[in-house]
Amino acid sequence: MALGRCRRCGYDIRALAQEVSCPECGTPIAHSRASERLGDADPDWVRSITRGAGVLRAGSELLRWVFYGFGVVAVIVTLLVQMGVTQAIVPWSIGIVGAIACLAVTIIAVGAFMIAEPDPRDAQQPETVDARRTLRFSLIAALALLLLATPGAIAPIGPPFSWLLRQPILTLAGVAAIAAALALMRVLAELAHRVPAPALEDRARGNERLARWLLPLLLIASLAMPQIAKLAAALGSVRLSSIIVFPAMLAAIIASFRMNASATAISKALLQVGRDVLPPRTPQGRAGVDGDGGVEAPAGSAGGTSRP
């Protein structure tokens, strides 16, 4: 359900007063607006969201260090090559950084899938294409396409068709990954709105708008790389491909870094919400017991602590 709309029918309630009811279905406006806050949402759903936020934060933190590490490795490798050290260290170093980056992206994808769990209060709403469904579908599609593009999956087709088929599959996987990244920013912006954390929400939406242009640019640049290399060879300019492709790659890396920073910050905010509003769970899955022997009521409920 889009934010600022009635929980029951989806009517736009942003211009309506707090004390009135929805003119379409009669649901109190206060109920719809209160339910937008994570503190008023279903505790089990909030707990699931915070678990996903924890996984997402772990992957985002690892990817942040990959960005830093890549810069350090690039400087060290450059110095070693200039000192005459064998260039075999270059692919070895890039392979290690790439493997860690793949691990970080995998963790982020798992956290993103978990954080996209639908709010159970929206279960009775008509099925619409929203950011959560787009995120989950894009993640599954990207994984399936990457698996399909592996040499073992397309080898039985035989060359040259296996190579010709692999390129469009990888392109579709890239498109799915871009859709997942944009949907993740939108989901995180909606969750930041429900924290509420207006500054983080604006930051996520700004990064989504930026990435909407820069990530497709990177995909186009990577697809055009072979043609650009051929053109550079024909013109006798070996630097032409670097001049054309490097700015696109740099811009996309900057956009990815900003998106990763937003994911880290919003994940921290969601984890804090979980600590603030969720009652502690006992091994039986029930609310915890306070120091006076009473049962702690869930956050946001009236009456505080009940006594036996």
Each residue's pLDDT tens digit, 233-271: 676 665 665 666 677 677 777 888 889 999 999 999 999
Residue 164, Cα to own-chain centre: how many angstroms? Answer: 31
Cα 232 to Cα 167, 188, 219: the distances in Å are 22, 42, 20
Mean pLDDT of 138-167: 72
Whether the per-residue pLDDT at 292 is higher than 80: the answer is: no
On whether the CB atoms of residues 291 and 300 are closer than 8 A, the answer is no
pLDDT for position 92: 74
Identify whether residues 41 and 185 lie together within a single domain.
Answer: yes
Whether 284 is in a domain gets the answer no
Identify whether residues 108 and 28 lie together within a single domain.
Answer: no
Identify whether residues 51 and 196 lie together within a single domain.
Answer: yes
Whether the per-residue pLDDT at 36 is higher than 80: the answer is: no
On whether the CB atoms of residues 207 and 255 are closer than 8 A, the answer is yes
> Which of 260 and 92 is assigned the larger pLDDT?
260
* Residues facing residue 289 across a β-bridge: 295
What percent of the chain has pLDDT above 70? 69
Mean pLDDT of 39-47: 84
Cα 147 to Cα 30, 48, 120, 137: the distances in Å are 47, 28, 32, 15
Counts for the chain of helices (H) and strands (E), in that order: 8, 2
Q: Comparing 97-101, 172-176, 222-226, which segment has the lowest mean pLDDT?
A: 222-226
Q: Helix 89-115 and helix 240-277: axis angle, to 10°?
A: 40
Whether 32 is in a domain gets the answer yes
Whether the per-residue pLDDT at 232 is higher than 70: the answer is: no
Mean pLDDT of 137-142: 94
DSSP state of 118: P
Residue at 143: amino acid letter? L
Identify whether residues 163 and 219 lie together within a single domain.
Answer: yes
Quote the CA–CA distance of 233 and 247 in Å, as a whole number.
20
pLDDT in tens, 201-218: 899 999 888 888 877 777
Whether 151 is in a domain gets the answer yes
Identify whether residues 107 and 246 lie together within a single domain.
Answer: yes
Whether the per-residue pLDDT at 135 is higher than 80: the answer is: yes
Identify whether residues 100 and 23 lie together within a single domain.
Answer: no
Whether 294 is in a domain gets the answer no
Question: Position of tokens 């009473």?
Answer: 294
Whether the per-residue pLDDT at 126 is higher than 70: the answer is: no
Identify whether residues 64 and 5 lie together within a single domain.
Answer: no
pLDDT for position 169: 83
Identify whether residues 65 and 14 lie together within a single domain.
Answer: no
Whether 87 is in a domain gets the answer yes
Whether 293 is in a domain gets the answer no
Query: Using 50, 70 and 90 to split pLDDT, how confident is the model at 290?
Result: very low
Q: What is the pTM of this model?
A: 0.73
On whether the CB atoms of residues 252 and 245 are closer than 8 A, the answer is no
On whether the CB atoms of residues 308 and 285 are closer than 8 A, the answer is no
User: For the chain, how many structural domains are there in total?
Assistant: 2
pLDDT for position 37: 80
Identify whether residues 154 and 81 lie together within a single domain.
Answer: yes
Whether 152 is in a domain gets the answer yes
Quote the CA–CA distance of 281 and 119 in Å, as a whole number.
21
pLDDT for position 303: 40
* Residues facing residue 28 across a β-bridge: 21
Query: Using 50, 70 and 90 to split pLDDT, how confident is the model at 160?
Result: low
Indicate the average pLDDT of the chain: 76
Identify whether residues 233 and 93 lie together within a single domain.
Answer: yes
Q: Comparing 30-44, 170-184, 218-232, 291-305, which segment has the lowest mean pLDDT?
A: 291-305
Identify whether residues 54 and 135 lie together within a single domain.
Answer: yes
Quote the CA–CA distance of 9 and 84 in Å, as a whole number.
70
Query: Using 50, 70 and 90 to split pLDDT, how confident is the model at 24?
Result: confident
Q: Comparing 65-74, 121-130, 247-256, which segment has the lowest mean pLDDT?
A: 121-130
Q: Comparing 147-156, 157-166, 220-229, 283-292, which segment has the lowest mean pLDDT?
A: 283-292
pLDDT for position 202: 92
Whether 285 is in a domain gets the answer no
Identify whether residues 3 and 63 lie together within a single domain.
Answer: no
Query: Using 50, 70 and 90 to split pLDDT, how confident is the model at 141?
Result: very high
Residue at 194: amino acid letter? R
Q: 239 lies in which domain range?
A: 37-274
pLDDT for position 71: 75
Picking from 13, 40, 41, the residue whose alpha carbon sits closest to that of residue 27 is: 13
Quote the CA–CA distance of 276 and 273 in Å, as a whole number.
5
